[in-house]
């Protein structure tokens, strides 16, 4: 009997060789005075291939980092020993990077906070309250998606709060962990990326401001953000897709199999699934002596969210604004402008998580009346739960370091940036941003790479003026970066979505990819392309929405033939 691992390897190896051959043929020698080489794509390609074949993400990432280090000796013409040392150096730099350390601290504190809230019965209290609205599979998914839209301030906070809070509720109605992870992941970055007040907008506006200043565009960063809002097709269509998918109760691809398993067998996780958190944390339950009350969860989670708002306000200079505008707290424009100036948003996240865990401990004692020993036990279960995801995050960051050293980004841009008709450029940039984000696992990094590179080209295609192609191109960079993030096995938000929902990481990637690919395809064919040709944006959105609805109608007609037991089993829980 042929081994599944061997079959996957025999499929993946020719694909890898073909991609390498195409890269070698297409690669120029330089791009913007940066030497580019075809083998710069090998580390991320190998990481993705190995992860999909072996489902051992840490080993896959580690091997690709070591290979990346060895390739630097070829790229920089140094000794093999120098290349062998480079891989561990990438890991060391990731471990000691201040921004990375703050993300790790945030992750540890939030997981420990959630563990304490679960032990103290807080999430059980939330479930009891939400049960008024989430009475079946459909409504519980709608509540999850609405929470994802409402917690728009930051994608990390969104993912951790929504995923952890809603997991017990969705388990109750036999909703697969894969579906929960998809809803959480697909409402975090898209809503944070387009929200007028979020940690993302400050970053995006800053990038636009620099480009406008460099190219002499008479627009500030915020004006550009609002100019391109109409063209944020992927983000807006993904939010539409999530709700249409939930309301239709129709699935396809690997997600359909995951949901079929959960409904018919009651298995929210696949039998071979390995949740991203420790099993004890994934199956955590309230302590039998705890006084179950919703405030045990609402106070810590609400405190975390409010601290983020207040912290970003202060960090962005909001106190100075209040001196000049006493009613600035009630001004949307003031909030938007102040938060966009925040330079230390990850520090605010860490501080907020510290406040959240202190509030969780206080509520566990004062409201739930559980002992210090049980609080300590819950705290350490959160620490244990963080071990695996922290290692994976460090490995993913280290791989990005290898890609940066080999200038993988410059290579990808170089092979796709010449000789294009103007109306095709936004599509190429969307795809390039997606490929770069898939390969590097970072949407923000992709934005930083492509905005300054693509904007001058788009401006030139617009005849030297700030016009339609430039605006659609900038929107395509932002949306393509998020699209790639949704598809990438290396993305930190993909990893954190699996953490928050206790979902097998590779299962999350496998089930989400077809959905992201569908939305990305619709965004290209009925969004970027027709608007670049002059079609009004509202007509493009109408066409895209009708296409997605048509897809689900078609699925509805075929479903009974594909999964004859699906509807029968579904009626038991809906």
Residue 183 lies in a domain: no
Q: Is the pLDDT of residue 370 over 60?
A: yes
Which of 129-143, 362-376, 514-528 is predicted with the least confidence, judged by mean pLDDT? 129-143
- 201 vs 117, residue with greater confidence: 117
User: What are 21-35's pLDDT values in tens digits?
Assistant: 777 766 667 766 778
Instruction: Let me know: does 178 contact 498? Beta carbons within 8 Å.
Output: no
Q: Domain for residue 200, yes or no? A: no
pLDDT of residue 513: 92
pLDDT over 90 at 466, yes or no: no
The one-character DSSP state at 527 is I
Same domain, 7 and 48: yes
Give the count of domains, the chain. Answer: 3
% of the chain with per-residue pLDDT over 90: 18
Query: 476 pLDDT exceeds 90?
Result: yes
Could you tell me if 423 and 538 lie in one domain? yes
Q: Is the pLDDT of residue 402 over 50?
A: yes
**pLDDT digits over 545-571, tens only?**
899 888 888 876 665 444 433 433 443
Average pLDDT score over residue span 271-281: 64
Cβ atoms of 159 and 113 closer than 8 Å: no
Helix (H, G, I), strand (E, B) or coil at 275: strand
Give the DSSP H or E segment for 35.
Answer: strand 34-35
- Assign residue 83 a region: left if phi > 0, alpha if psi is -120 to 50, beta otherwise? alpha
* Same domain as 510, residue 480: yes
- Residue at a domain's end among 71, 96, 121: 96
pTM of the model: 0.70
Burial code (b: 16+ CB inside 10 Å, e: under 16) for 488-499 equals bbbbbbbbbbbb
What pLDDT was estimated at residue 419? 59
- Asked which of 76, 96, 116 is the last residue of a domain, the reply is 96
Query: Do 324 and 401 have their domain in common?
Result: yes
CA distances, 571 to each of 89, 168, 173, 287 (Å):
55, 21, 12, 33
Do 572 and 461 lie in a common domain? yes
Residue of 267 and 156 predicted with greater confidence: 267
**Opening angle at CA 40, ends 189 and 69, nearest 5:** 95
Do 164 and 260 reside in the same domain of the chain? no
Q: Which of 177, 200, 178 is nearest to 188 (CA)?
A: 200
DSSP letter assigned to residue 31: E
Residue 233 pLDDT: 94
Please indicate, yes or no, whether residues 243 and 341 belong to a single structural domain of this protein.
no
- Regarding whether 221 and 350 lie in a shared domain, the answer is no
* Per-residue model confidence as pLDDT tens digits over 23-67: 776 666 776 677 878 888 888 778 767 766 776 767 888 888 999
Give me the mean pLDDT over the 533-543 stretch: 90
- The reply to whether 384 and 495 lie within a common domain is no
- Model confidence over 291-315: pLDDT tens digits? 888 899 889 888 888 888 888 888 8
Lowest-pLDDT range, 186-200, 269-283, 515-529?
269-283
Between 101 and 349, whose confidence is greater? 101
> Is residue 180 assigned to a domain?
no
User: Are both 262 and 361 inside the same structural domain?
Assistant: no
Q: Give the domain range for residue 260.
A: 214-268+407-574
Do 245 and 320 lie in a common domain?
no
- Higher-confidence residue of 574 and 193: namely 193
Q: State mean pLDDT over 92-98.
A: 89
Specify the pLDDT at position 194. 86
Residue where a domain stops, chosen among 96, 128, 159: 96
């Amino acid at each position: 009997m042929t081994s599944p691992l061997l079959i996957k390897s025999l499929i993946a190896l020719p694909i890898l060789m073909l991609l390498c051959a195409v890269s070698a043929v297409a690669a120029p020698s330089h791009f913007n005075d940066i030497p580019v080489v075809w083998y710069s794509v090998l580390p991320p390609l190998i990481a993705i291939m190995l992860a999909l074949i072996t489902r051992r993400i840490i080993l896959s990432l580690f091997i690709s980092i070591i290979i990346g280090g060895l390739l630097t000796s070829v790229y920089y013409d140094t000794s093999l020993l120098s290349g062998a040392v480079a891989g561990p150096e990438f890991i060391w730099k990731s471990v000691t990077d201040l921004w990375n350390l703050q993300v790790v601290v945030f992750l540890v504190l939030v997981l420990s906070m959630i563990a304490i809230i679960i032990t103290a019965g807080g999430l059980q209290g939330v479930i009891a309250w939400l049960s008024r609205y989430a009475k079946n599979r459909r409504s519980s998914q709608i509540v999850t998606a609405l929470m994802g839209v409402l917690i728009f301030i930051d994608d990390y906070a969104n993912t951790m709060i929504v995923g952890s809070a809603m997991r017990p509720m969705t388990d109750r109605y036999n909703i697969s962990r894969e579906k929960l992870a998809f809803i959480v992941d697909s409402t975090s970055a898209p809503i944070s990326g387009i929200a007028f007040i979020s940690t993302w907008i400050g970053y995006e506006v800053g990038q636009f401001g620099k480009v406008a200043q460099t190219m002499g565009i008479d627009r500030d960063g915020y004006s550009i953000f609002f100019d391109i809002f109409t063209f944020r097709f992927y983000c807006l269509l993904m939010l539409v897709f999530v709700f249409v998918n939930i309301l239709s109760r129709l699935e396809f691809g690997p997600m359909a199999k995951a949901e079929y398993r959960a409904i018919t067998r009651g298995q929210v996780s696949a039998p071979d699934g390995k949740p991203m958190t420790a099993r004890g944390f994934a199956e955590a339950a309230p302590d039998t002596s705890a006084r179950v009350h919703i405030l045990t969860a609402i106070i810590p989670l609400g405190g975390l969210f409010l601290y983020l708002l207040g912290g970003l306000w202060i960090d962005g200079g909001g106190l100075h604004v209040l001196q000049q505008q006493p009613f600035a707290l009630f001004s949307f424009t003031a909030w938007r402008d102040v938060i966009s100036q925040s330079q230390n948003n990850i520090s605010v996240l860490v501080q907020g998580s510290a406040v959240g865990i202190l509030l969780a401990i206080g509520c566990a004692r004062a409201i739930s009346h559980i002992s210090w020993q049980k609080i300590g036990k819950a705290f350490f279960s959160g620490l244990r739960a963080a071990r695996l995801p922290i290692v994976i995050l460090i490995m993913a960051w280290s791989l990005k370091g290898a890609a940066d050293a080999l200038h993988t980004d410059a290579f990808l841009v170089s092979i796709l940036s010449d000789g294009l008709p103007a109306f095709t450029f936004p599509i190429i940039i969307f795809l390039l941003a997606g490929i770069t984000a898939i390969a590097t696992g970072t949407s923000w990094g992709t934005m930083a790479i492509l905005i300054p590179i693509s904007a001058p080209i788009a401006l030139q295609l617009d005849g030297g003026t700030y016009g339609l192609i430039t605006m659609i191109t900038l929107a395509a960079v932002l949306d393509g970066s998020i699209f790639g993030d949704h598809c990438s096995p290396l993305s930190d938000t993909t990893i954190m979505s699996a953490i928050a929902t206790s979902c097998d990481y590779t299962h999350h990637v496998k089930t989400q990819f077809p959905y992201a690919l569908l939305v990305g395809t619709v965004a290209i064919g009925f969004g970027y392309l027709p608007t670049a040709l002059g079609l009004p944006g509202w007509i493009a959105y109408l066409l895209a929405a009708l296409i997605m609805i048509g897809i689900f109608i078609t699925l509805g007609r075929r479903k009974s033939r594909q999964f004859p037991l699906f509807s029968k089993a579904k009626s038991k829980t809906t």
